Amino acid sequence: MKTGKLSSHMEDYLEAVAALKNDKGAARVGDIGRLLNVKKPSVTSALNTLSRAGLVLHERYGYVDLTPEGQRIASGVQARHDILVKFLTNILSVAPRVAVEEACRMEHSISSATLVKLTKFIAFVEGCPEYRRPGWLKSFDRYFKTGRRLSRKIRQAKAGQSAK
């Protein structure tokens, strides 16, 4: 069955089933409800929708499993989430708990093209010889805290020192 564009809520359900299967070995309605903080009737309704779309297998009072297509979508959502958390924490220094919450909202709307660029940007930063925190990111940290940039002369002096 052709699924079209899933809502962010339906993507969250697929992601939750995948996470529960990974963590506990199985996913059940009650576990999904607790993870997503929703009531069982809401979970059942969502699972029925996902089942009709050919993304989950679910028998009443039984375990929930992902079809290959459901697993593909859930993996994609999780990958977007992971990249966004990494960017927010490692590049922008957002607190991990906040980064996870923000990534949950962002993962549903980021385009594939932007995700590719963001992924390459992170790889670029991680590949810098001074990866711990490259100088230009340290300058951003200072700018974020103070609202001021280093003067050009100070930047040039620091560049001259690091070239030695």
Rounded mean pLDDT of 139-148? 87
Task: Answer positive or negative: Cα dihedral of 8, 11, 13, 15.
Answer: negative
Amino acid identity of residue 148, one-letter, is R
Q: Is residue 24 part of a domain?
A: yes
The CATH code of the domain that includes 18 is 1.10.10.10
Whether 31 is in a domain gets the answer yes
Give residue-wise pLDDT tens across range 21-74.
Answer: 999 999 999 999 999 999 999 999 999 999 999 999 998 888 999 999 999 999
Can you give the pLDDT at residue 77? 94
Report the candidate in 63, 71, 61 with the shortest Cα–Cα distance to residue 24.
63
**pLDDT of 94 strictly over 90:** yes
155 in a domain, yes or no? yes
The range of the structural domain enclosing residue 64 comes to 8-73
pLDDT, mean of residues 145-163 = 67
pTM of the model: 0.79
| Number of separate domains in the chain | 2
Neighbours of 155 (CB within 10 A): 14
Q: Is the pLDDT of residue 76 over 80?
A: yes
Q: Is residue 44 part of a domain?
A: yes
